[in-house]
Amino acid sequence: MTARLADIAGQAGVSEATVSRVLNGKPGVSAATRESVLAALDVLGYERPVRLRQRSAGLVGLITPELENPIFPAFAQIIGQGLTRQGYTPVLATQTPGGSTEDELTEMLVDRGVAGIIFVSGLHADTTADTQRYERLRGQGVPFVLVNGFSPKVRAPFVSPDDRAAMRLAVTHLVSLGHREIGLALGPERFVPVQRKIEGFLAAMTGQLGLTEAAARRLVEHSLYTLEGGQAAAGTLLERGCTAVVCASDMMALGAVRAARERGLAVPRDVSVVGFDDSPLIAFTDPPLSTIRQPVTAMGQAAVRALLEEVGGTPAPHSEFVFLPELVVRGSTACLPAYSERRTGKGQDQTAG
């Protein structure tokens, strides 16, 4: 026990006597110090004494699409941590192809008496989906928050990245490297984030390169949010002469890299690729992926705050909280070769192909 007390005291930065008082439930310890000792127990892997275990303030459902795309586990981790810190128990419900639908998962969570639900990239992002399902949920007295997507028909707090700004960042970066034939690979057009990305892309391409909207639209290709989807969309864009491809997810971007290599092209020497999300481990791909970082931590924390305000009887505004993304430049983008030569005064008779 002495060694254990010493370990806990060292981790918490307090004396062994203070640890002992906390573990035995004795007075004379501040709330902050008590929390530090309990956190030290958790970090070191010790179980909290039964009398000190925080009772769950209730269950909160978290519904996500499949977990193969690493951005969704990242959201689940941040949201789950935020809920746990506030005394709630997160219940993760995941949609899988051929498995439970969003409606079935929602019903399951409601039947289990959840205090609220957070939806990530759900049907609220699909402009063809019936939004009455959310009104019915509200009618059942279950608060909810919606992440990544927006509908003016749904009375709830929304949390989203600025998809238009994301495309502006990506296009500006690629234009600065000399690219003019820049393609956009993304998912089905019925989704709100897709529509917003297209709007941002077209505005950037017409504003920065002087293209007509029709010419810019020719550089937009829809597919699935998968590696294979990115490979197919990028392949089409490369055949149209694109020297750079912006993708709506990091998984699609990895597919774009594969599509380039299939054609004997090197990334970034011949083709530049920009992803979206900055998913975990994406910095360690070959080449490390330049991407637009979705502010997952800030968005996840905002979703938790908004939901718990609703649960606590102080409803958050029924509006959209929009978070600015960030361009992360790594190894998958580079100057267009002819552009680089012109900048250094070489190859004056060459064109950008």
Residue 349 has pLDDT above 80, yes or no: no
For residues 129 and 151, state if they share a domain. yes
Q: Which long-range contacts (CB under 8 A, 24 or more apart) does 280-286 make?
A: 280/70, 280/73, 280/74, 281/70, 282/70, 282/250, 283/330, 285/254, 285/257
pLDDT of residue 133: 94
CATH of the domain at 301: 3.40.50.2300
For residues 140 and 219, state if they share a domain. no
For residues 116 and 234, state if they share a domain. no
Instruction: For residue 340, give Cα distances in angstroms to 100, 205, 209, 349, 350.
Output: 52, 21, 18, 13, 11
Statement: the pTM of the whole predicted model exceeds 0.75: yes
With CA atoms as reference, report the closest residue to 300 among 83, 150, 104, 108.
83
For residues 207 and 332, state if they share a domain. yes
Name the phi and psi angles at 261, rounded to 5: -65, -35
| Domain limit, last residue, from 52, 69, 89 | 52
pLDDT of residue 30: 83
Residue 248 has pLDDT above 90, yes or no: yes
Mean pLDDT of the chain: 90
For residues 243 and 290, state if they share a domain. yes
pLDDT of residue 249: 96
| Domain limit, last residue, from 17, 34, 52 | 52
For residues 286 and 180, state if they share a domain. yes
Q: Which residue has the higher pLDDT, 37 or 338?
A: 37
For residues 281 and 203, state if they share a domain. yes
Q: Do the domain assignments include residue 353?
A: no
Sheet arrangement for strand 89-94: 89-94, 59-64, 116-120, 144-147, 158-161, 320-323
Count structural domains, the chain: 3
pLDDT in tens, 100-156: 899 999 999 999 999 999 999 999 999 999 999 999 998 888 999 999 999 999 999
Q: Do the domain assignments include residue 275?
A: yes
pLDDT of residue 157: 95
CA–CA dist 306, 316 (Å, integer): 6
Q: Which residues are bridge partners to 62 per DSSP? A: 92, 118
Instruction: Name the pLDDT band for 50 (thresholds 50, 70, 90).
Output: low
Residue 10 has pLDDT above 70, yes or no: yes
With CA atoms as reference, report the closest residue to 182 among 243, 263, 229, 254.
243
Q: Name the region of 155 (left: φ>0; alpha: ψ -120 to 50; beta: rest).
A: beta
pLDDT of residue 134: 94
pLDDT of residue 305: 95
For residues 175 and 268, state if they share a domain. yes
For residues 186 and 255, state if they share a domain. yes
The C-alpha R_g of the chain, in whole angstroms, comes to: 25
pLDDT of residue 51: 66
For residues 48 and 69, state if they share a domain. no
- Give me the domain span that covers residue 87: 59-161+296-323
pLDDT of residue 312: 85
Q: Do the domain assignments include residue 82?
A: yes
Instruction: Return the top range by mean pLDDT from 83-87, 232-236, 335-339.
Output: 232-236
Name the phi and psi angles at 352, rounded to 5: -85, 10
Residue carrying structure tokens 């989203």: 160
| Domain limit, last residue, from 52, 68, 83 | 52
Q: Do the domain assignments include residue 262?
A: yes
pLDDT of residue 38: 84
Q: Do the domain assignments include residue 211?
A: yes
Cβ–Cβ under 8 Å, residues 148 and 125: yes
CB-count burial class (<10 Å; 0-12, 13-18, 19+) for 122 = buried
For residues 182 and 284, state if they share a domain. yes
pLDDT in tens, 56-92: 568 999 999 888 889 999 999 999 999 998 989 999 9
Token readout for 282 is 């994406």
For residues 255 and 274, state if they share a domain. yes
Residue 352 has pLDDT above 60, yes or no: no
Q: Do the domain assignments include residue 18?
A: yes
CATH of the domain at 23: 1.10.260.40
Q: Do the domain assignments include residue 91?
A: yes
Q: Do the domain assignments include residue 351?
A: no
pLDDT of residue 95: 86
Cα-Cα-Cα-Cα dihedral of 291, 297, 299, 302, to 10°?
-170
